[in-house]
Structure 1
Amino acid sequence: MIDEVRKGCRIDGSWTTQGYTNIVMALNEAGLSGLKKNNVKNRQKSLKDRWREIHDLFGGLSGTMAKPSAAKWRFNPIRHYDLMEELWSNDRATGSRVRTARDINSPPDMTNFSVNLGENNMNYIPEQPNFEEADDYVPRSPAPQFQSSETPSDTPSNTSSMPSAGSAGTFASRGSKRKGPTMDGIDEQFAMLNTNLQQCVSSMKDGNENASQLVNIARAQATTAQDIAAEIRRRNDLYAEHVHHHRRHASDQYSESDICAMLVELNIQDEQLMDQCYEFLCDHPGRVKQLFGIYFSTRRQMVVFEKNFHARAVLPPKMMHTPFFAGPGFEFQNLLNWQGLQPFLGINLPYYEDLVRVFYTNAKITPVGHLAIEICGKMIHIKEIDWMTIAHLQYDSLRLTPGMIPEELNFDRALALSSMIREDVEGENLKNVGSLKMNDRLLHYTWVHILCPRGSNYAQLLNGDIFMLWLIKNNVRINWPHYIMQHIIKCRDNKMPLPYANLITRILQVYGFDLSNEQAIMLGWNHYFGKKSMTKLNIFQVNDLWQLGRPHHAHEEDDEEDELPAQDVEGGQPKEANPTQRELLTQILFGIQNMNTRIDRVDQRMDRIEDTLSDIRRHQGY
């Protein structure tokens, strides 16, 4: 503490924050770990109380040891009394002669020290003493002296004496000591009052700013409420339109007069274009069904579809070209075949994005574990045994939920990962598939693109990926229909891209849906997992063997187009509509929708501008 006082870390009897910090650090470095600022404060208070007791006790030495409170100090030494006197003596004295530790250690005042170079002498001009302040000087208490019991009672130290003039001066000085703290307290109170007033003014300014923000928020909420009301009106109109057209849904028969009435409602101005649309719809009844909204049977389904699935992305499906991987070096395919996944991995079907979105809109899992879907007013219940018919998958073995790792399997991530990584990258921080062995990387590609498709982070090694690869490599049979259903529900509820598009096509075929009039997307080379995928995975063929990494002596091979596998479409591939007519109808529908949307937005903006102008006029007093 003395060191910090001499450094100036104790000002007007109060420690600075830096002073406390330095004391705590010094104590911790001395081996007293765990001490904090409050411990230092408590210890200082205890020492100061002890010093104050001694200081007041020995302030006058006459008859000191006869006092009962001095008995305990006859044989107990007073440790570090001089240091405590230096540290706290100023707290007990007042007047012009008071000196703090900072004053003691500061250099002397040299303003009255003059040097006469002409006479080669130095004169010290002392300051004139102020005799009026002499009475305020309180001499420092002398060091404690103790009277031994062997000292004769008639010694001068034991004789009582009358108070002298100096004692009277001491009494007067004690009376004047109370004036300093009182004035200091008043100054502190005024300073505190000034601070509180400043805080009050600042709080009033903050209140004004908060009030302005609340007004802006209220205006924004009012605008949002108007937008919500407009959206509700638009959806009600949409629902009324669907109900109007859904009345004919039972027979699915629409006459030419119905088609004409629908086109009139679309308000197509160009008569030639309207005639073309009319002829196109009469020749393609499937398009008429789509326009009349026959996919849904309830208002809730239409609202859910428009809100959550109308613009949801559909993941382009992948299928494995199993004949290519039948060659030597591809052991991962044997693991997949042991799981019974070969028919599922090879589903070679086109997909229908609108039907995929409708499928996810109405998909749910029943309490007994069946996958239930309603499409075009027809209910589908996929039971356990139906998965064999759909994709030759058995509904048995280990049931897993995406993202969950059962504790009873004793899965060790580090041990499982060490069996998959290459030897040249062992010991590194592995976060992507670039460090995997060739067959493990091919197995991971199959997992993230076909078995459990996701929309991004294909090259990232997730804990769930490592766990599932570990199960497959250890021939742990998995209940794949259960896992696929859980993944479908997960993607549906978490606004993820929609997977299993070709599997959904297979389900619709099995349950007798007519897809001949739907707009199909045929599978191309980018949908196949085969020879052309090897280059993306950094796998190359050298001397008729496939290996990971391009050798230095390898040359670019001719990128020849292999024969595209024929797609398995019952009843032949879907017939595509006349591109010109289809484009015309699509442009008409989307153009009208976009125009109505833009008109609504313009109206809303004009309303907001008018409201803002009204507020401005009202504030200006017009």
Structure 2
Amino acid sequence: MPRMKKTQKRSREGETSVEPPPSNHPLAKWFHANEDLIFYELRLAGRKEIPPRYLNPTLLDSFNFNHLKEMLSMQGLMNFLQIRDKYYPELTSIAYSTLGIESDSQKPNNFSMVFKLGRNLYRIHCDTLGTIWNLPLQGCLFEGGKIPLEDWGYDKMRAMQLFNLTQNEKSKIPCQTMNDEYRTLLYLVTYVLEPRTSGHGNVVDEDLVLMWAMVNEIKINWPFLILHHMLRIKGKDTSGGIGYLCLWTRIFNYLGIDVSNEFVKHLNVRSEINEATLHHMGRGKEEEAPPMGFRGHPGPSSSSQGEPFMSDLMQVLQSIEYNMDQRFQGIEASQARMETNQQRLDQQIQSLQQEQRKIWRSIRRVEAYTFSEDEDEEQD
């Protein structure tokens, strides 16, 4: 489908008015302004989705992750991490294209989520947002390093020591040396709290800050953080993934948006974070999981246990499983894109069929009119 030029109309008063999208466009009903449709087509259409994950809480008890359970409960995250809903990839991408945040400069903790679908502008206050997502609103307004971290007593080197991490020759921080409990915490951060498409095996600065805050019992305003991470997702180029899909489903349900004709996907068995997840990471051995160290000190690394041969073998198996997981994700993403393209093609065919029917009706009216004129001339 050819890209449309960005156009605007000017009213008689000289003010810029909104140029609506073409009425025959398959997605016209979801966009009020042509420029929003153009932004969607250029930046968000066809993006890879980040598969949702949800926590099975029995995992924490099975491996005696008592400290992790306490941290998640203190942050008010236990119910949030268990959210699992069907989701609508294309509609979510459309909603992302007009997403914004409104906040009071005098009261930054008074903020709202704002987006448009068609002619409807939706505004959801943070109190309501917290209820929809099962998240409390208490805590620091953290949006990715934009607050003075020294107020938290944060120091990157101390944090790396706490989590038993070292930087490699490629300036990356691999997570393989973390113990099972910290590794599970990182998994929750990179797959659920701040989901990303790749790089889950490496710790980035924001992962380190969030885990430091949680270990040191610094409460975070998670709705605020998630909304700002959504804006970063929106602002990325086409290589970025679309995350928080199940959270958007809850928004659509709350607002009563009709999704009956939208392409829908369901979670599968790989969406659950459970004991099998730990085994896929090469963790969660048969023996009891090592205890997490007390606050401010690293716990023992589970990777230091066992014979060297078995350690090497586990690393090989972990690498194979990781590659298989990446291939499965690639296959699922390709299948989703094919299904989305097929749906768009069907919509375009329906639109063309409607146009064809209109043309034939016009032709019949012209023929009928011409026939009546010929009869009048013969009678004359």
TM-score class normalised by the smaller sequence: 0.5 to 0.7
1:542 Cα deviation after fit: 1.6
Superposition map of 1:401-480 within 5 A: 401-404=143-146, 406=148, 407-421=150-164, 431-480=173-222
Q: Is 1:444–1:465's contact at 8 Å kept on the other side of the alignment?
A: yes
- Count of paired positions: 291
**1:73 corresponds to which residue?**
none
Partners of 1:370 and 1:586 lie apart in 2 by 32
Work out which of the residue numbers 74, 95, 120 in structure 2 matches 1:338: 74
The answer (yes or no) to whether the contact 1:352–1:501 under 8 Å persists in 2 is yes
Q: TM-score, normalised by structure 1?
A: 0.42
State the match for 1:134 in structure 2.
none
Alignment deviations for residues 444-489 of structure 1 (CA, whole Å, 9 cap, x no partner): 1110110011122111122221111110001111111111111111
Tell me if the contact between 1:405 and 1:467 (Cα under 8 Å) persists in the aligned partners: no
RCO comparison, higher one (Cα < 8 Å, 6+): 2
In structure 1, what is the Cα distance between the partners aligned to 2:28 and 2:167? 58
Alignment of 1:67-86 (within 5 A): none
Report if the CA contact (8 A) 2:175-2:202 is conserved: yes
CA distance in structure 2 between the aligned counterparts of 1:525 and 1:551, rounded to whole angstroms: 31
Tell me what 1:380 maps to: 122
Shift in alpha-carbon separation, 1:398–1:240, aligned structure 2, 3 A: closer
Q: 1:513 to 1:233 in 2, by over 3 A?
A: closer
Taking a change above 3 Å as real, the CA distance of residues 479 and 588 of structure 1, as seen in their structure-2 partners, is closer
When the two chains are superposed, the root-mean-square deviation of aligned CA atoms in Å is 3.6
For residues 195-234 of structure 1, the aligned pairs below 5 Å read 231-232=3-4
Contact in 1 for aligned 2:52/2:243 (Cα 8 Å): yes
Please state whether the residue corresponding to 2:29 is helix, strand or coil: coil
Deviation at 1:527, TM superposition (A): 1.7
The structural deviation recorded for 1:328 is 4.4
Look up the equivalent residue of 2:85 and give its one-letter code. Answer: L
> Which residue matches 2:32?
297
2-side partners of 1:583 and 1:304: how far apart? 18
Q: After superposing the two structures, state which structure 1 stretch, 489-498 or 337-346, moved more.
A: 489-498
Are the counterparts in 1 of residues 152 and 213 from structure 2 also a CA contact under 8 Å? Answer: no
Equivalences for 1:482-493 in 2 at 5 Å? 482-493=224-235
The residue that corresponds to 1:507 in the other structure is 251
Residue 266 of structure 2 corresponds to 522
Tell me, which stretches of 5 or more residues in structure 1 are unaligned? Answer: 1-229, 246-289, 557-581, 594-622
Aligned to 2:318: none
Q: Residue 539 in 1 paired to residue 283 in 2?
A: yes
SS in 2 for 1:385: helix
CA distance in 2, matches of 1:430, 1:308: 29
Distance 1:542 1:505 in 2: 38
- State the partner residue of 2:54: 319
Matched, 1:309 2:5: no
**Letter of the aligned partner of 1:294 in structure 2?**
K
Q: Which runs of 5+ in 2 are unaligned?
A: 9-17, 105-110, 291-301, 315-339, 352-380
In structure 2, do the counterparts of structure 1 residues 537 and 412 end up closer, same or farther at CA, with 3 Å as the change threshold? same
Matching of residues 249-288 of structure 1 within 5 Å: none
Alignment check: 8 A CA contact 2:167 2:173 kept = no
- Percent identity over paired residues: 19
Question: In structure 2, what is the Cα distance between the partners aligned to 1:457 and 1:401?
Answer: 20
CA-to-partner distance for each residue in 1:528-560, whole Å, 9 max, x for gaps? 2112211222113425x3464595699x9xxxx
What is the CA deviation profile of residues 39-81 of structure 1, one whole-angstrom value per residue up to 9, with x for unaligned ones?
xxxxxxxxxxxxxxxxxxxxxxxxxxxxxxxxxxxxxxxxxxx
Query: Which of 345, 348, 352 lines up with 2:84 in the alignment?
Result: 348
Q: Give deviations 1:354-398, integer Å, cap 9, x for gaps.
A: 111111101011243211011243322111211232112122321
Partner amino acid for 2:101?
I
- Residue 98 of structure 2 corresponds to residue 362 of structure 1: yes
* Cα offset, 1:518, TM superposition: 1.9
Q: Quick one: structure 1 residues 412 and 537, their matched pair in 2 at CA, closer, same or farther if it must change by over 3 Å?
A: same
Q: 1:67-114 deviations in whole A, cap 9, x for unaligned?
A: xxxxxxxxxxxxxxxxxxxxxxxxxxxxxxxxxxxxxxxxxxxxxxxx
Q: What secondary structure sits across from 1:464 in the alignment?
A: helix
Question: 2:199 & 2:285 partners in 1: Cα distance?
Answer: 27
- The 1:381/1:419 distance shift into structure 2, 3 A limit, reads same
What CA distance in whole angstroms lies between the structure 2 residues aligned with 1:325 and 1:395? 25
1:320 CA displacement: 1.0
Question: Structure 1 540/584 Cα, relative in aligned 2: closer, same or farther at 3 Å?
Answer: closer
Structure whose CA Rg is larger: 1
Kept in 2, the 8 Å contact 1:539–1:546? The answer is no
Partner of 1:77: none
Query: Which amino acid in structure 1 is aligned with residue 228 of structure 2?
Result: Q
The residue type paired with residue 363 of structure 1 is L
Instruction: Report the counterpart of residue 10 of structure 1 in structure 2.
Output: none
Q: Residue by residue, what CA displacement relative to the aligned partner does 1:259-281 show, whole Å, maximum 9, x if unpaired?
A: xxxxxxxxxxxxxxxxxxxxxxx
Is the alpha carbon distance of 1:590 and 1:459 closer, same or farther for their aligned partners in structure 2, counting shifts above 3 Å? farther
